Amino acid sequence: MKYILAIESSCDDTSAAVMQEDFICLSNVTASQKVHEIYGGVVPELASRAHQQNILPVVEVALKEAGVKKEELSAIAFTRGPGLLGSLLVGVSFAKSMAQGLNIPIIDVNHLDAHVLAHFVKDNKEQEVPEFPYLCLLVSGGNTQIIKVESDSQMSILGKTIDDAAGETIDKAAKILSLPYPGGPHIDRLAKQGKVTLQFAKSHIKDYDYSFSGLKTSILYTLRDLLKENPDYIKENINDIACSVQEAVVNTLLFKFEKALKDTGIKTIALAGGVSANSLLRERFNLLGEKYGCRVFIPKFSYTTDNAAMVAVCAMFKYLRKDFADISLTAYAR
């Protein structure tokens, strides 16, 4: 049996996973960095330092949980980009030196491809995986894209945001509401007790592209005006505001995705990225799949945020076709 160790360090999570050649994930260990919370966003320099502290213990625990010795590894994979350069460099350097020490190949992985292919992470042999082609809605803190996935190595972006990402918009709204960073999970939680009471500006962008900057500004101005009338507006209506923001973001996301789905006639759809943890988006995505008679793939919560298991999937596809990276290769931010 072949085993791959994968490392993900593109932003503020240090993660390592061990995967078997049949795509069964034997371990997926992540150390999240709490250090950024007080700053209301990720501080790149602090992130790379925390990765340096976390990487060795995270890799050790991943190997131990998998019951695999480092000498049994066939390759080491790492996220090459996009992401924070300092953070990526920690993972890339670690993977290279460990692979050199063990005299095994390295495999570079694109972070966005990893999110899109996260549906191939298997926890057991029976688990179903998507067939190609499938249409993927990738929604994270930094990206919003509609991707036609033809194969593990052939993907085309049908639409993407021309400004802010969906996650960024939710986080910004959460910040206005004085919720902790990242705000997504808090908006989701509060929205469950609220109802839609506010309407925000809708964007009119061509084709399958998105724009969230107008929505962000609309949320800001709407609340500013309401606070002028009632300084306690946010305190008294926080659940309804959260619910209205969530509704606006999810509607925007699915409006374009549905258009792409109708036009392409693809019958398998998948959700990916950190925002795919959102309960309303998951529910509506399932309904959309039902409406068009599609097979729907929604990742387990542990595979929605940054994790090394999804990096291992991309790496395993590459390993099986002997697509290795050169030792001189380095990280890229964009």
Cβ nearer to ligand KG4, comparing 77 with 271: 271
Shortest distance in whole angstroms from residue 67 CB to ligand KG4: 28
**Residue 232 DSSP code:** T
Q: Which is nearer to ligand KG4, 82 or 105 (CB)?
A: 82
CB of 25 to ligand KG4, least distance (A): 18
Burial 239-263 (b: 16+ CB within 10 A, else e): bbbbbbbbbbbbebbbebbeebbee
Q: What is the nearest approach in angstroms of ligand KG4 to the Cβ of residue 21?
A: 27
Contact yes or no for 203/252 (Cβ under 8 A): yes
SS (H, E, C) 1-46: CCEEEEEECCCCEEEEEEEECCCEEEEEEEEECHHHHHHCCCCHHH
Region of 54 please: left (phi>0), alpha (psi -120 to 50) or beta. alpha
Taking the complex as a whole, the smallest distance from the CB of residue 232 to ligand KG4 amounts, in Å, to 26
User: Please, which residue, 158 or 277, has the CB nearer to ligand KG4?
Assistant: 277
Sign of CA dihedral 198, 201, 206, 210: negative
* Nearest distance from C-beta of residue 302 to ligand KG4, angstroms: 11
Rg (alpha carbons) of the chain, rounded to whole number: 20
Q: Which residues bind ligand KG4 (CB under 6 A)?
A: 11, 140-142, 167, 170-171, 182-185, 187-188, 273-275, 277-278, 305-306
- Residue closer to ligand KG4 (CB basis): 64 or 189: 189
CB of 14 to ligand KG4, least distance (A): 13
Nearer to ligand KG4, 24 or 46 (CB): 46
Q: Reduced to 3 DSSP states, what percent helix, strand and coil does the chain have, rounded to the nearest 5?
A: 50, 20, 35
| Closest-approach residue to ligand KG4 (CB) | 274
Q: With respect to ligand KG4, which residue has the nearer C-beta, 209 or 306?
A: 306
| Cis previous bond, 133, omega within 30 | yes
Which CB sits closer to ligand KG4, 68 or 112? 112
The Cα–Cα gap between 137 and 129 comes to: 16
Nearest distance in Å: CB 328, ligand KG4: 28
Amino acid, res. 269: I
